Amino acid sequence: MSTVTKPRAPTVRRQLREAKRFSWTGFAVTVGASLLGTLVPAAIGAGPDATLISTLVVTVLAAGGFTAKDGSARGIKAIAIVLLATGALVLTVTGVTVLDLVRGRPATFPGVPAAAAEPRVIVPESVTCGTTPVHTTASCVVAVRSVGASALRVSGIELDGTDFAVDPSGCVGQEVAPGRRCTLAVSFTPSWSGDRVADLTVHHNVPGPPAFVELTGRGG
């Protein structure tokens, strides 16, 4: 009496290995499509969320199209799509984000923090208060801007000229959030005719030297 041995069903790993289009070529094509879905939205300024959605959709579609003839079972095809799309998406997101961080730009994709910007204080190199008659007062302002990851605190100011006066209340002792600014009100009262110059020094909590602004005006 003979025994009939049923053929063993092929394993998922074997079916994937035998799939004609599940290969390094398929993975490379899917990665290329994933990069295309990243670069186009980024180039037109669509924003990080739109870039991520576009990358995800294009990657899945490319993986699905490239595995269209892989195996007869839907399950195997679905597994192939997931494997190709996941690998390509992870490679694209990681690679593009690393390049963004190296170049010092904000991350292309949301949810990936950009490198923290060093705190800085930005002031104009010079501010002119214009021309005004001798012993007459004119006004101008100096904007002090906070840039970086932490708040700016102006601790004090110095002025080396007698024709200018500065009201420090608009900045000194205040916390200026990143991206915001405070203003120093400047009064110019020329005691003589001609060009007048003074140097304004702004002391702050940011590492590095104080900020310097040249104040200019002309007595008429």
- As a whole number, mean pLDDT of residues 25-32 equals 86
Residues in contact with 102: Cβ distance below 8 Å, sequence separation at least 6, in sequence order:
none
Please state, in angstroms and rounded to a whole number, the distance separating the CA atoms of residues 40 and 148.
29
Can you give the pLDDT at residue 161? 87
Closest C-alpha to 54, from 122, 128, 110, 115? 110
Running DSSP on this structure, what letter comes out for residue 125? S
Tokens of 92: 């694209």
pLDDT at 20: 58
Give me the pLDDT at residue 214, please. Answer: 97
Q: Which tokens hold the place of 196?
A: 């007048």
Structure tokens given for 39: 């670069």
Residue 139 is given by DSSP the state: E
Lowest mean pLDDT: which of 19-33, 50-64, 88-102, 185-199?
19-33
Q: What is the pTM of this model?
A: 0.50
Residue labelled with tokens 């302002």: 141
Please give the Cα distance from 178 to 101 (Å, whole number). 20
Q: What is the pLDDT of residue 113?
A: 59
Specify the pLDDT at position 137.
96
pLDDT tens by residue, 57-88: 999 888 887 775 544 566 777 888 888 899 89
| Predicted local distance difference test score (pLDDT) of residue 42 | 79
Contact 142, 183 (CB under 8 A): yes
pLDDT tens sequence across 32-62: 999 888 888 878 878 888 888 999 999 988 8
